Structures are given as C-alpha cells and as structure tokens.
Amino acid sequence: MNLQTDEEKALIESAYREMLASCQKTLSTNDISQIHRAFNLANEAHKGVRRKSGEPYILHPIAVARIVSAEIGLGTKSIISSILHDVVEDTDYTIEDMERLFGSKIASIIDGLTKINADVFDANSSKQAENFRKIILTLADDIRVILIKLADRLHNMRTLSSMPIDKQMKIASETIYLYAPLAHRLGLYAIKSELEDLSLKYRYPEIYQDISEKLNATEKRRIQQINHFSLPIIQKLEENEIKFEISGRPKSIYSIWKKMQNKNVSFEEIYDLLAIRIIFEPYPHIPEKTQCWNIYSIITDIYKPKPDRLRDWISTPKANGYEALHCTVMGDQGQWVEVQIRSRRMDEIAERGFAAHWKYKEMDTSNQEHELDRWIKRIKETLENTQENALEFLDEFKLNLFASEIAAFTPKGEIRSLPKGATVLDFAYDIHTEIGDHAIGAKVNHKLVPLSHVLSGGDQVEVITAASHRPTPNMLEFVTTAKAKAKIKDALRADAKLQADSGRVQFEKICRQHNVEPNRNDMLQELMATYSTATIDELHTLLGLNRISPDRVSRIVKKYSPNSGGFMRSIFGSNKNTAGKSKTSERSPYIAASCCSPLPGDEVVGVRSADNLIVVHKATCPECIRLMAQYGDRIVPIKWSGQEQLQYLTRVEIKGIDRMGMINDITGVITRQFTVNISKFHIENNDGVFVGYVELYIQDSRHLKALISNLQQIKGIDSVRRMDAPSD
C-alpha cells in the first residue's frame, strides 16, 4: 500500500493551511473546527489513493475548497462540502454518515455532487446528456451544488495534462460546451474565461501555444502603451478626488482566437487588444450610476470615444447580473483602447458572480427581484413536467443559456422578462400553460398581431384566447423559449395520444372484421411501408385523424385474412433489405462535415458517426463541439497528411464599390491566376456598393488564402472573406 510519506504529509498540511488562509469570509472558531473535522475525515478516507498525476488524492478536494472559498467567495458549508465531495463516491462512507456527522444541509449538497459525478466518464451518450441534465436540475435545488461542481471542473481542467489524450479532448469539449456557458450565465467571469482558455489549450494545443507566444512577445510594448495611455486619466481622476484602481487587462487567449475565427483575421490584425479597467470606491449618497458617467465624461474629455462602442450595462444590467460601463476610445497614438468603468461592488459581482450578487442582495432594501432570480425561477418552471429526452433538453437549455433578455408588460403592468426574439406565443406560455395552449393572437400596444409576432422591449401584451383552440405542430417554429416548446410538445403528445387511441380502436375493429390478429407482424410491416410511418402508433394516429382511408387499410388487412392467399407476396418483398448493406465497406472512412466544409490545412477534428464513418469538422464548428461534448467517446484526433487530391466546394464573400469591369476582374483573378472552377457566382448591387458570393472548388486552405489576398488587391474591393458551409 502507498502510504503518505512525511514529505507528502507536509505538502497536504500546507495546502490545507493555505486554503484556510485564502478564505474570503471571516471564519469563526466553530467554523474552523468543523472544517477541520471534515478535512481529517477526508484525508483519512482518501489515504493511499493517488490522482493520475501521482499526487495524493486529498490535494484535489482541498484545491476545490480553495476555489470555492477564495475565487467564488462561498462560506463554511460550501467549503466542507467541497472537502467531502468525493468521499461518498470513492470511499466506504455513505450519505447517511455525512448527515449524521455534518447535518442534513451538507449531506444534501454532497448527495447532489455525488449524483452528478456518477457517470461523468460514461461512454454512453444519452447517459452523459442525462448527467448534464442532472447538473442543470440541481440549479433548482441548491445553487451551491453547481458552484462547487464548477470549481471541481476548474481544478480538473487545471490538472488535465496527466489524463490520456482522448479523455482530455472529451473533458475539454464538455467544458466549452456546457461548463463555461454555465459559469458565464452565473456571472463567474474569471472562471468562465479560465475554463475557455484551458479548453482551447487541450483541444488545439498548437493554436493556444501560438497565440500565447505572440501575446508574450508583445507584452512589453502593450504595457508601455497602456501606461502612456493611462497617465492623463490618472491625473484627472486624482484632481477630481476619486478613489480608484486602474489596471491593464489582456484579452483572454480564447477570446482572441474567437475573434480571429469570426473576422477571419490574423493575430496582428486584431485592433482592440488594449483594454483597461477602472474600479472606483463610490462616494455615499451619490448614485453609483452618476459616478460612472462622471468618470466616463472625464475620460472622453481626454480621448475621443468610438460612438458605436458604448455599452451601458448600468441602466440595464446583463441577465447574469453584470453591471459596468464600457467604452472604446482612441489613444493619442491612434490605437483603440477599451475602457471598463465599474464601482467596487460592480467589480465584485463581475468577478464572483452569484455569490457576490447574493451578498449585495441581502443589503439591498428595495427588495426587487433580480434578473438572476427570475432566470433561475424560469429554469425551475421549464424543468417541471417536461418529457423531453435528455439530448433534446440539453440543446434547448443551451439556447436559453445564451439568450439576452427583453422585458414586456401585461395589461396590468406586470413585467415578464423573456429572451430576445421571443414571440407573443412565448409570452402567453410564460404567463400560464393554459393561456399558451389556447392563445390565438394578441394585442401588442393595442394593435392586433399574430402569435408569431416578435416582441420588443417595453411592449404591452394582451393575449387573446379561444377555449376550443389547441396547439398545432407549426407553432413550434415560432417559439424560442424552452418552456413554450416543451409545453407545445406536451400538448401535441397528449392530442396525438387521443388520436392514436381512437385510431387503434378503429384498426382493431377492421382486423376483427377480417379475422386477422391486429399485431400480425408481416401485415404491420406492409401497412407501415404503405403509409411511410416509423411506428404502428403513427399509423393509428393517422387513422384517428382521418388522414388515411379506413377502406384502403381494410383492403390491405383483408389480404392477411385466413381465406386469402395474398400474404405470400409480402414475404418475398422483405428479402430486399439485405442487399443494400454490403456496400458500406467500400466507402472511404473519412468524409467532410456538411455543416462546416473543412479544407485540407484547416484545423480539424474527427467524430466517429454511428455507422463508423469518420466525419471531419473544422475546429471551430459549433456542431462539432456539441457532438464532442455529447458523444465524447467518439472523438478521433486527426490531422491532414500532405496533399489531398480531392477538391472542396467553398464559398467566398466579396464586398466593394461597383465599377465598370469589376466582375471581369474578379473572374479573371479566379480563373486565370488560379485555374480553379467557379461553380456559382452571385452578385448584388445596392446603390453602387456590391456584395457578391462566389462558390468554387479549391484544393486546400493555403490556395484559398492566396486567392483571397489576390482578390483583395483588385481596385475597389473592400473585403473578401471565406464563408462557412455553402448553402443549397
């Protein structure tokens, strides 16, 4: 057995002391003695167990507790739960032991964490989605479970290098797919960007390395520029007797990479790498908002602001509680600099999110329900009574995770907050399921509109209902909230069940007439093939809805009647199935994903499909990230090897000022200089400015880059960029 060496004992002891010392909250002696009890128990329970890296296991729960206390700012119960978070999962202790030793609250947090843990590394995708679902469900229970889970994930990401590569890819994909957005939604900015950076580091080590080297190489110059830029601001703020801190803020590696991808530019072309943050100590009795704008006014007296880059998150905070004033101004050397202005309180909320938010909420006397409370409440509602399968549920939830919000009013002036893009029907379901199920239209600001009408912030909405109305499948197309979708599906399912029941009764009657068993397999096969249904339930439903003629069904059933010879034919028919299958083995094992059309030379990743093909996606493809997170065991790390002979259809967008001969010049470059085949050329002229799309077959991304740069040199061309996924 591997026992702890003296050296390890000292290491564990000092990690534990440091964790206690880093705690943001002041701990009472009672708190400390309880934490101590938890530590002794966990240390004893995990004794002799090591992590993949070889270090004693107990260092992991200590590190999680440290993140929870120092970086998220949670208190004693959360620290204890963190220390004990793997004890029930990995040792002989039970939840009952935890309850007996540490009380019911801590036991229920540990129980939540253990349940989430259970199948993290399960290869089965639906189980994995189910696991995600459990994580989200816990939001409704005790948010501390989620916060500790995030800390657990963060520490696992920090120590991911000791895992095998496919596990790294899987864990990193899950992280970017779910955990980083979740951290963002809960307002934990620092944790969110660290998760993003670490995920990038393991998914695409070369890209990560490249950007971080470039950042390091330019750091010195950036610091000089920031210092030069900040100097006059510091002087003015001091003259105005404002107490403040100012800091240069490097953009995260992930956000730089995102920008390079989205704008299709190189590292050198990103202009807003410079950013500073001003955190001030507010004067009492003057609204913080006023003080923010005062600082804004001081800064813009010195530097010219970029008008379209002003972001006021003070008058309307973000849905995750974020408050700040952002502006971009031009420094005296012609460079753009982003300036963030925040009070001390706003800064704490921005960095520590939920925990800080609650702390200030307790101090807030206005007793107003915060956006975040509303969001959690809505999640709870969504989770009630939904029968979605786990994967569908997860996709829905993801959509809601990113949505920004608008506020609409009921006729009585009650505020409902909804994701941007929400329609009248979303609003109806938000108020009540009954109202949604029977809604036929609405008056928005006293004008009649259809259910599909998209709401704007500040709209007053009066829903019109009709008792006889029921949801129809097309309604799914014009709702955006998970709640409305789930409720419409519930209603459709309930209706379908009714129709299927009545159809089944009809069908059984027909079978009785012809003296045929209603579950006779060959007959059902023929019926399903005739009406192209996947299940017999669907067939019943069609019959119940009168979509198919009972007479025709009766004729088919009759063939299987004992006094008819017709069934021989259908037996022969079933032979066909086996013929098609042998073809699969001749196919190439790799195909390019249609969602992102990767080219040789692009950063790519492979995902094994259900029929054993390896589908190649671009590294940035959101569909691919989703697949990797949900089907982690199917990731195939791949790279292009040398020159691929195939050509790839790709689409290039060209913008510029139209002139005589422009089209000629463009096609000239493409066909003469590059001898590539144009498959489509579409151009639109709008008052002298044109936008065009060219679809062409090209060998690899290096050729494409050369082509783009040659096109850019044509006179009058403003921008040329590669578009993903040629449509139709």
Choose between 153 and 318: whose C-beta lies nearer to Mn ion: 153
CB of 86 to Mn ion, least distance (A): 5
Mapped onto helix, strand or coil, the DSSP state of residue 695 is strand
Residue 718 catalytic?
no
389: CB partners within 8 A, 6+ apart = 126
Nearer to Mn ion, 35 or 256 (CB): 35
Residue number with the smallest Cβ distance to Mn ion: 152
Pick 68 or 139: Cβ nearer Mn ion: 68
Asked whether the beta carbons of 186 and 146 are under 8 A apart, the reply is yes
Site for Mn ion in 446-505 (CB under 5 A): none
Nearer to Mn ion by Cβ, of 51 and 370: the residue is 51
Among positions 31, 71, 130, 152, the unique one binding Mn ion when judged by CB under 5 A: 152
How many CB atoms lie under 10 A from the CB of residue 713?
A: 9
User: Which CB sits closer to Mn ion, 180 or 592?
Assistant: 180
Name the segment binding Mn ion (CB under 5 A); options: 145-153, 195-203, 320-328, 662-670: 145-153
Catalytic residue among 8, 31, 55, 90: 90
Reduce the DSSP state of residue 606 to 3 states and report it: strand
Give which of 265, 200, 124, 198 is closest to 605, Cα–Cα.
200
CA 106 → CA 38, 41, 109, 219, 380, distances in Å?
11, 14, 5, 45, 22
Is the CB of 120 or the CB of 516 nearer to Mn ion?
A: 120
How far, CA to CA in Å, does 204 sit from each of 169, 254, 362, 600, 619? 9, 11, 43, 16, 8
Number of alpha carbons in the 13 Å side-chain half-sphere of residue 467? 0
Among candidate residues 639, 638, 632, the one with its CA nearest the CA of residue 166: 632
Half-sphere exposure of 347 (CA within 13 A, CB side): 16
Question: What type of residue is 290?
Answer: T
Burial of 314 (0-12, 13-18, 19+ CB in 10 A): buried
Taking CB under 5 A as the rule, which mask of x and - marks residues 71-100 in contact with Mn ion? ---------------x--------------
Q: How far is the CB of 77 from Mn ion (least distance, A)?
A: 18
Minimum CB separation of residue 83 from Mn ion in Å reads: 11
Site string for Mn ion, 34-73 (x = CB under 5 A): ----------------------------------------
Q: Total residues contacting Mn ion (rule CB under 5 A)?
A: 2
Annotated catalytic residue within 89, 351, 392, 501? 89
Q: Smallest distance from the beta carbon of 59 to Mn ion, in angstroms? A: 11
Going by C-beta distance under 8 Å and a sequence separation of 6 or more, which residues neighbour residue 143? 186, 354, 376
Neighbours of 531 (CB within 10 A): 16
Residue closer to Mn ion (CB basis): 152 or 695: 152
Q: How far is the CB of 18 from Mn ion (least distance, A)?
A: 19
Q: Shortest distance, CB of residue 153 to Mn ion, whole angstroms?
A: 8
Q: Are 582 and 575 in contact (CB under 8 A)?
A: no
Report the nearest approach of Mn ion to the CB of residue 32 (Å). 23
Instruction: Specify whether 347 is catalytic.
Output: no
According to the binding rule CB under 5 A, does residue 111 interact with Mn ion? no
Q: Where are the beta strands (DSSP E) in 581-640?
A: 590-592, 604-608, 614-618, 635-636
Catalytic residues: 89-90
Residues that bind Mn ion (CB under 5 A): 86, 152
